[in-house]
Amino acid sequence: MHPLPELSDLLDTARVVALPMATRFRGVDVREALLFEGPQGWAEFSPFVEYGDAEASAWLAAAIDDAWMPRPPAVRRSVGVNATVPAVPASAVAGVLARFDGCRTAKVKVAETGQTLGDDVARVRAVRAALGPEGRVRVDANGGWNVDEAERAIHALAEFDLEYVEQPCATVEELADVRRRVKYAGIPIAADESVRKASDPLAVARAGAADLLVVKAQPLGGVRRALEIVAEAGLPAVVSSALDTAVGISMGVALAAALPTLDYDCGLGTGSLFTADVADYAVVDGVLPVHRVTPDAARLDELAASADRRTWWLERLERCWNILDA
């Protein structure tokens, strides 16, 4: 990583935005983010508001690296992406999928608090029906099941020809247990939170707890660090977003473009869940082009967060910068 810039270098160009969402996702209707500009261009700092400063500081390290250092060389010019289907009723699935132009892969959120396995089955059935037999369907439980619940749910969803199940349980030990239990079904297990929220992101690979990794550039400390983790783990990877603005999405696309091999569509189409964004960077025919995104000045003004939220984010930025400086 580039030597830490002065805090004033970040604050001088910092813009805080609030993007309205077309569909409630991760419990939010508006996604907030802080953007700043460095020598290489604009970067994004947008850890979710509930994250503590220690965890959020890795996101700041990623943003600084992206703004001050050239991105790694790309080995592909575009990246295939998947549609993301929040935990909506089955009747709303078609409307969500319509926002993702040409996507033939869909990631479906399951294990939502307050919902049932029946809700998950109905939602996944609707996605499979919309995509047809040639489409690829993956589900993401965000660690919401215990081992028995995961085994039962995967068995119930297996008829929809799942590409993989992402983070069915919270811990590495549980993932390993689920993977053993469902091996007969031939459904791969992917690890997300067990990589990006772990003190040791390689533990899941050493434990044989996953067949592939889901990696996100911001939480892992940047594109270069994420590439190192994938290389050390020795597992296939799929790149996903953290519900980023177009600026952050372009960093995720840079990560996906730099992976030596990429066998999966990536979860980088989440900009389609916003009704407005800081720049035009839309999925067209199921892919995103590889390039750095510069936010539109007028949209930065239009989407500016309220004064109190701007203050909240600037204070958070300073606290995280102090952690990195220490």
List pLDDT tens digits, range 24-53. Answer: 887 889 999 999 999 999 999 999 999 999
In a domain, 1, yes or no: no
In a domain, 2, yes or no: no
Name residue, tokens 């940047």.
222
pLDDT at 2 over 70: no
Distance CA 193, CA 21 (A): 23
Q: Are residues 63 and 87 in the same domain?
A: no
Cα dihedral 257, 261, 176, 163 in deg (nearest 10): 80
In a domain, 238, yes or no: yes
In a domain, 254, yes or no: yes
Report pLDDT digits (tens) over 118-130: 999 999 999 999 9
DSSP lists the bridge partners of residue 239 as: 215
Q: What value does the mean pLDDT take over residues 106-124?
A: 97
Q: What value does the mean pLDDT take over residues 166-189?
A: 96
Q: What value does the mean pLDDT take over residues 294-311?
A: 98
Report pLDDT digits (tens) over 205-257: 999 999 999 999 999 999 999 999 999 999 999 999 999 999 999 999 999 99
Q: Are residues 236 and 97 in the same domain?
A: yes
pLDDT at 196 over 90: no
In a domain, 130, yes or no: yes
Known catalytic membership, residue 197: no
Q: Which residues touch 238 (CB under 8 Å, ≥6 apart)?
A: 190, 212, 213, 214, 215, 262, 264, 265, 266, 267
pLDDT of residue 278: 98
Q: Are residues 227 and 245 in the same domain?
A: yes
In a domain, 122, yes or no: yes
pLDDT of residue 111: 97
Q: Which of 107, 109, 183, 197 is catalytic?
A: 109
Q: In Å, what is the CA distance from 1 to each residue of 63, 198, 218?
A: 10, 20, 13
In a domain, 13, yes or no: yes
Q: Are residues 125 and 178 in the same domain?
A: yes
Q: Are residues 127 and 225 in the same domain?
A: yes
Q: In what order do the strands lie in the sheet with 28-38?
A: 15-25, 28-38, 41-45
Q: What value does the mean pLDDT take over residues 268-283?
A: 95
Q: What is the CATH number of the domain that holds 291?
A: 3.20.20.120
Q: What is the CATH number of the domain that holds 311?
A: 3.30.390.10
pLDDT of residue 5: 98
Per the annotation, binding residues for Mg(2+) are 140, 166, 192
pLDDT of residue 249: 98
- Left, alpha or beta for 21 (phi > 0: left; psi -120 to 50: alpha)? beta
Residue 189 class from Cβ within 10 Å (0-12 exposed, 13-18 middle, 19+ buried)? buried
pLDDT of residue 1: 56
Q: Would you place residue 198 in the very low, low, confident or very high pLDDT band (cuts 50, 70, 90)? A: confident
Report which of residues 190 and 23 the model is more confident about.
190
pLDDT of residue 316: 98
Q: Are residues 24 and 39 in the same domain?
A: yes
Q: Are residues 261 and 116 in the same domain?
A: yes
Q: Are residues 61 and 128 in the same domain?
A: no
Q: Are residues 41 and 100 in the same domain?
A: no
Q: What value does the mean pLDDT take over residues 162-181?
A: 97
Known catalytic membership, residue 183: no
Mean pLDDT of the chain: 96
In a domain, 219, yes or no: yes
pLDDT of residue 127: 98
Q: Which domain holds residue 23?
A: 7-71+298-325
pLDDT at 71 over 70: yes
Q: What value does the mean pLDDT take over residues 8-24?
A: 95
Q: Which among 159, 169, 164, 119 is positioned nearest to 137, based on CA atoms?
A: 164
Q: What would the two tokens of residue 254 be?
A: 């840079």
Q: Would you place residue 197 in the very low, low, confident or very high pLDDT band (cuts 50, 70, 90)? A: confident
Q: Are residues 153 and 66 in the same domain?
A: no
In our burial notation (b when 16+ CB lie closer than 10 A, e otherwise), range 118-155 reads ebbbbbbbbbbebbeeebbbbbbbbbbbbbebbbebbe
pLDDT at 199 over 90: no
Q: What value does the mean pLDDT take over residues 51-58?
A: 97
Q: What would the two tokens of residue 266 be?
A: 């990536």
Q: Are residues 239 and 97 in the same domain?
A: yes
Query: How many independent structural domains does the chain possess?
Result: 2
Q: Are residues 22 and 64 in the same domain?
A: yes
